[in-house]
Every structure is written in C-alpha cells, then in structure tokens.
Amino acid sequence: MDVRKIGLSLGADLCWPAAYEDLLELMDLTVEVDGKAVRFDVERVVIEPFDLRYKPRYDLVLDRLTHWFDVSREWIKKITLMDDVYVLNNPWSIQSMEKHTSYCAMIRLGFPIPETWMIPPKEYDLKQGDTAVTIKRYNKLFDLASVGEATGYPAFLKPYDGGAWVGVRQVKNDDQLREAYDASGTRVNHLQTGVKDWDLFVRGVGIGPQVNVIRYDPDAPLHGRYLVDFHFLDGAGWETAQRTTRVINAFFGWDYNSCEMLRSDGILQPIDFANPCPDSQVTSLHFHFPWMVKALIRWTIYCAAVRRKPTLNLDWAPFFAIADTDLPFEEKLIQYDELAQAHFDTERFAAFNDKWLGDLDAIALEYFGTERFRGIVRAKAEAMYPAHEVEAFTEHFFGLVGFWRKTEAERLAATS
C-alpha cells in the first residue's frame, strides 16, 4: 500500500489545521490510483536547516508561510524545483507577482479594473548606491493633483505590492491626496479610482477549481466582514464571480487565493486579487469555515493521490491569444475559464471526488457540531481576544457554524 505524505507549513494558524487533521482521521480514507491502494498521512512541517540535495518525505505541502517567511519560502522552492513536490501555491509567483503585476495582467486580459496609476515614492534612501545620482538626473517633477484629476475622486492610495496593514488611504480631494502621499515615505504607491455607486462587495475564495462567492463588508471588524447572506447575485453574476476568481488563480499558478470585486451598474469589477494566503480562520470565516476546510481536503487529497505535478513555468500566451481577439469580454471570460478549468483538471477532480470522497459531507456535518470542534473554536478565540470576551466569541462563532450545519443538512437532504 502506498502512503501519500501531506505537510502543513504553518505560522499562527490554529483552527483550520486542527479541523483538517481531524476530518482526515475520521474519514480513514483509502483510494485506488493506478490499481494501487493509497492512504494519506498528515504532518506539520518544522523549520530547520536543510541540505539542498536531501529528498523530502512529502508528496504535497499546503503552504501558509511563503509570502512572508524567507526560510520556508526557499525550502518550498527547493522541494518544488528539485523533487516535484506539489505545493499550494507556486512560490515564485507569490514572491514576484505583486498587486501591480496582477493589475497589469488583468487589464491586459480586458477585466474592468478601475483606473490605476503608479506614483514614484515621496522619499528615497539616498545612501543607497547610485540612488542620489539617478534621482537628480532622471526623476521628473510632477503635479500630484494632475494624477488625482486623471483618476478622479474618491480614490485610494495604496502600496503597489499590497499590504493593507501599512496603509491604504481613501482620498476625496487634492489636499487629502497630498497629505496621504507626504505620509507614505519611501513606499511606491498606486492611486486607484474608487468604484462609484457600487451596491455589492463580494469576495471569491478559490481552492483549485472550487470557488465560494461570499458577500463582504470591508468596513466591519474582522470577525464581521464575511457576511452570512444568500441570493445576493443572480445566476449570471455568480458565474462571472466564480470564473473571474478561477481565471486569476490559474493565470498566476495559485491554488488558494481570494478575489475582491465590487458591483457597479451591474458589472463586477475586480479591485484586489493578489491574496494567495487568504483568510482561513474560523474567527473571520465562521459560517463559511466548513466549506473552506472541506475544499482544502478535496483539492489536496486529489493532488496528492494522483501526484499532480507542480507548475514551474507560467504560460500566459493562450490567455493573451484570447485577449487579442475581437470577441466581447463576456465571451473571452468563458474561454479564459476553459483554460483555467483545464489547468485545474476540473473534470478529473470532480470524478475523483465523486468516487472516493462521497462521505466527506456527512462526516463534516457531524464533526462541526462536536465538542471537539467547539474546543478548537475556543482555542482560536483565546488566541485572538481578551479573556473576558473569549466565551462570548466562542459561542458566537460556534453558533454561526451551527447555522451552517442547519443549511448544509437542508442542502444534503434536497440533493439526496
């Protein structure tokens, strides 16, 4: 019997790894691949020195550190490049494809990205090499207000490489733009037009070919941003949101990423979609948390079982060939999605899940109502909130998962 080893490369994550491990243990899963019985073993990856020629024991690694932790990122690169270990997500793409690149690429494909300008930084570190000479010779003085006029107000000044924690500022006039720019220091920024008169904010969470579209409130506290809501998009809108998320993920080699979209005048406009380490905690996803854990299980088990090969080189030419046609964008999006579906082996993935993971829904439905899971929720609440709020937040999040169990039971009964 073959055993596929799955590694979890983790930082501060508590809840989803525990639920992932518990569900796999409860499933006691054996599948057949090429006539051989295959089982699965999960292990949390430790950080230690490694010989560049050592052979890893993992068939797949679910990675949550590449975007910020150098040693883990370089280990991930080694095992992907040298040993064909499948990793969620492509580490080179995560490191190099900042939000600027993602905006440029999706504009190239014809997505309705808001007007976006890049602005040189306000300040420079003039002690670095030839920086002072370069600035003196070639930096052109520019009128910041004219850039604001080009984008229009309101607009958002935000770091070109992402990171809302270092300051995304909404600006409503020239004075506010100048104040925000002066405070940005050495950061390189985008100035992006705010989507006007939007009536819906959604976030598409993609895991392999699976996409969950969730209504989102960016102004709420973290625990209240992912809303519990239904029927906020019609069928065509839902399909567009799913396709948009899946196409972006396939384009950049990201198995697990989220895409923020605003709807204005009936059109979904992607505004932020380079998030290949998306929210995964029960304290943010709550009602949507079980879907995320199940989707991770389905995709990682499939990839490990069939020994899916990592994508080392991104091939954008087929997307650009579609972009360069005279087709309306709606038709281009359908064709882009066909490329994405092929990239994610959607048909083979669905057949594998139907054959081998049919019990997951029922097992998860029971598990997410157990005292064991309540304890996981409490442990996460203890890590996030002051002691006097732990009990209330534990019951809040566990209650929202309980509501998911009710709706899931109804769904399963309707489809049985």
DSSP 118-132: EE--S---TTSTTHH
Q: Kindly state the average pLDDT of the residues 332-342.
A: 98
Q: Please answer whether residues 273 and 222 qualify as being in contact, where contact means their C-beta atoms are separated by less than 8 angstroms.
A: no
**Model pLDDT, residue 165:** 53
Residue 311 included in any domain: no
Tokens of 328: 């309306």
Q: Give pTM, 2 decimals.
A: 0.95
Tokens of 294: 């199940």
CATH of residue 150's domain is 3.30.1490.20
**Model pLDDT, residue 130:** 84
Of 180, 154, 358, 167, the closest CA to residue 262 belongs to 154
Q: What is the mean pLDDT of the chain?
A: 95
Q: How confident is the model at residue 129 (pLDDT cuts 50, 70, 90)?
A: confident
Q: How confident is the model at residue 132 (pLDDT cuts 50, 70, 90)?
A: confident
What is the phi/psi pair of residue 114, to 5°?
-60, 155
Of 198, 141, 403, the closest CA to residue 288 belongs to 403
Q: What is the C-alpha to C-alpha distance for residues 44 and 61, in angstroms, rounded to an integer?
A: 9
Q: Please answer whether residues 299 and 60 qualify as being in contact, where contact means their C-beta atoms are separated by less than 8 angstroms.
A: no
% of the chain residues with pLDDT over 90: 87
Residue 391 included in any domain: no
Rg (CA), the chain: 23
Whole-angstrom CA distances from 74 to 63, 90, 97, 274 are 12, 12, 16, 20
Residue 77 included in any domain: no
Q: Please answer whether residues 151 and 115 qualify as being in contact, where contact means their C-beta atoms are separated by less than 8 angstroms.
A: yes
Q: What is the dihedral of CA 243, 246, 252, 255, to 10 degrees?
A: 180
Burial of 414 per CB tally in 10 Å (0-12, 13-18, 19+): exposed
Q: How confident is the model at residue 1 (pLDDT cuts 50, 70, 90)?
A: confident
Can you state the angle between helices 360-367 and 15-27, rounded to 10 degrees? Answer: 130
Residue 120 included in any domain: yes
Please name the residue that has the structure tokens 């309707």. 414
Q: What is the dihedral of CA 176, 177, 180, 182, to 10 degrees?
A: -110
Q: How confident is the model at residue 409 (pLDDT cuts 50, 70, 90)?
A: very high
Of 302, 393, 285, 396, the closest CA to residue 353 belongs to 302
**Model pLDDT, residue 201:** 98
pLDDT tens digit string along 172-224?
Answer: 999 999 999 999 998 999 999 999 999 999 999 999 999 999 999 999 999 99
Q: For 96-100, 147-151, 231-235, which range has the lowest pLDDT when averaged over its residues?
A: 96-100
Q: For 43-47, 66-70, 108-112, 403-407, which range has the lowest pLDDT when averaged over its residues?
A: 66-70
Residue 182 included in any domain: yes
Residue 14 included in any domain: no
User: Does residue 163 register a pLDDT over 70?
Assistant: no
Q: Kindly state the average pLDDT of the residues 57-85.
A: 94
Q: What is the dihedral of CA 213, 216, 218, 223, to 10 degrees?
A: -110
Query: How many domains, the chain?
Result: 1
Range of the domain at 148: 115-193
Of 3, 14, 17, the closest CA to residue 297 belongs to 17
Q: Please answer whether residues 363 and 373 qualify as being in contact, where contact means their C-beta atoms are separated by less than 8 angstroms.
A: no
CB-side exposure of 287: number of CA atoms within 13 Å? 18
Q: Kindly state the average pLDDT of the residues 114-121.
A: 94
Q: What is the C-alpha to C-alpha distance for residues 137 and 22, in angstroms, rounded to an integer?
A: 61
pLDDT tens digit string along 245-276?
Answer: 999 999 999 999 999 999 999 999 999 999 99
Whole-angstrom CA distances from 301 to 24, 210, 231 are 9, 14, 31
Residue 151 included in any domain: yes
Q: Please answer whether residues 15 and 377 qualify as being in contact, where contact means their C-beta atoms are separated by less than 8 angstroms.
A: yes
pLDDT tens digit string along 296-324?
Answer: 999 999 999 999 999 889 999 999 999 99
% of the chain residues with pLDDT over 70: 99
Residue 310 included in any domain: no
